[in-house]
Structure 1
């Protein structure tokens, strides 16, 4: 059976251009403000490399001075944290490509759609893992594992942010916890959960909810579930804007293979500029 070759159908440069042209913004954690994104990761960065993730410190509060009194000069400084580059990719053969071509008028467009969706899922998974990690700074755990999620547990989780509870951008919870939340009520008997309207997100105490089975489950008797309260800008996603398309040939099988690689960094900051409050709070419930 003849094998589709590069000259017959698959042109790596065309796929690379198609993917780069369709590469979207705001694809991590479903586009919430919890994530700061940049598509400028250096092209030479590879898996395992250590890179510095920067952020600017704040200038501080304004000075109150009298007439004719000079202001004190201050410098805008920048802090960096170290994170490790990850790799996500997909390997496929030219026979797979020929199947795509048979099913769709434009296999490049269809492959681009699938690759972007796969990248989105890989980014989201790594960002949730970074937010949930108990290693490193910036995270605090509120243990309410004696019961299911309730009004007091959510209040305690928000209180852990100190004066920055109004900076929470997203709440990531397991579907089981969402089901419990639908039944929960405030102390005056009002439901905590608000169903989404007009295609919006479900909310609790005004905060947008992201429902994901990636929210951590701690095995035990019974299992406990970790709900993540994430502040604006708590996470950084840094990725290369043009995924690489590489090809190779299996001479034994006389078959062409292509690999798509994306290199990225998913990082939780240990603190945000200007304060020492946690950037993520882990609420543990049954």
Structure 2
């Protein structure tokens, strides 16, 4: 395909004038509306116009409680320990070809359909990536002895160790919706005033706004960290004495070679619980998930005379789990 000349506009067969900026704005608006994770993440624009394709994110440890000292006694200096995680910038994109015949057919709205489907495709990819990074959190609560219910969610929420409750969201699969709605502690969204809960929430339970998304992961077989389990190896594991890392990280992304794990065969849903707001005492701490935007959606158009119009949309960026202390993965029986 020839390179698009964005200095020109092209009149489509159906009489519309193609304006890449207008189409880009339309796609941006639709992407935001369709994305489940919109509102639960922070977008960082500092990478725009900057060189480099990898971001290294520090995760700081707590220096501990202050201590008492006598007059004139020197104060010990605590070294701020931290770990890092590196994320590579991703290029995502989708293209559509509108043939002249399709545009001349007079049925429907070819351009509107193309924009809608590109937005849906990009939104789906963004959402999948953003949900996926949540599962890197090592904060896990295993309540797979029963299906999702109030007591299990309480266990998940208490994993945060909060002294004061903060605003939280739990993502559930549509197959769990009926189970939760029948829980006597579930309060449906229509019982609250507008604007009290996050957009898309169907209700609240155990202090969590409940959002339904089929992006919630489920596994028939999965792994958990267990000091009495089998060792994880890079390769060569036979499953009876050792497990291969490539098999383990599918359901336990933070696992590494040398860990000991156990294989579980109880089918389970992995429900992320996301802490949305900062603690009062640490207002400048990192959000749970940050999307590092290198370049937003760019629409390019190329006309093949007498044949078709090609529309391509690309974007550069990547999501990262920037504060794993704000994400708990609750595992419950499917």
TM-score, with length taken from structure 2: 0.59
Alignment gaps of 5+ in structure 2 = 1-8, 69-81, 222-264, 277-286
CA drift of 1:280 comes to 2.8
Partner of residue 70, structure 1: none
- Higher deviation after alignment, 175-184 or 52-61: 52-61
List structure 1 segments (4+ residues) > 6 angstroms apart after TM superposition: 23-27, 54-64, 99-102
How many angstroms apart in 1 are the aligned matches of 2:148 and 2:107?
Answer: 50
Task: Select the residue among 285, 293, 301 that pairs with 1:239.
Answer: 293
Residues 146 and 242 of structure 1, relative CA distance in 2, 3 Å threshold: closer
Contact residue 174 and residue 213 of structure 1 kept, 8 A: yes
Asked if residue 195 in structure 1 is aligned to residue 188 in structure 2, the reply is yes
Asked if residue 86 in structure 1 is aligned to residue 90 in structure 2, the reply is yes
Q: Map of 1:1-286 to 2, 5 A cutoff?
A: 7-9=10-12, 11=18, 13-15=20-22, 18-19=25-26, 22=29, 29-32=36-39, 34-42=40-48, 49-53=53-57, 81-95=85-99, 98=103, 103-104=108-109, 107=111, 112=115, 115-133=118-136, 138-163=137-162, 166-167=165-166, 169-184=168-183, 191-196=184-189, 197=192, 201=201, 202-219=203-220, 223-232=267-276, 233-240=287-294, 242-248=296-302, 255-271=308-324, 277=325, 279-286=327-334
SS in 2 for 1:166: coil
How many angstroms apart in 2 are the aligned matches of 1:222 and 1:27?
Answer: 33
Alignment gaps of 5+ in structure 1 = 1-5, 65-77, 185-190, 272-276
SS in 2 for 1:129: helix
Residues 92 and 151 of structure 1, relative CA distance in 2, 3 Å threshold: closer
Q: Deviations over 1:44-89 (max 9, x none)?
A: 789xx3224578999999999xxxxxxxxxxxxx997421223332
SS in 1 for 2:315: strand
How many angstroms apart in 2 are the aligned matches of 1:270 and 1:63?
Answer: 27
How many angstroms apart in 1 are the aligned matches of 2:106 and 2:111?
Answer: 5
CA RMSD of aligned residues (A): 4.7
How many angstroms apart in 2 are the aligned matches of 1:281 and 1:142?
Answer: 6
SS in 1 for 2:99: helix
How many angstroms apart in 1 are the aligned matches of 2:327 and 2:121?
Answer: 27
SS in 1 for 2:145: coil
CA drift of 1:168 comes to 5.1
TM-score, with length taken from structure 1: 0.67
Partner of residue 274, structure 1: none
How many residues of Structure 1 are paired with residues of Structure 2 in the alignment? 260
Contact residue 234 and residue 268 of structure 1 kept, 8 A: yes
Q: Which has the higher strand share?
A: 2
SS in 2 for 1:158: helix
Q: Relative CO higher for 1 or 2, CA cutoff 8 Å, sep ≥ 6?
A: 1
CA drift of 1:180 comes to 1.5
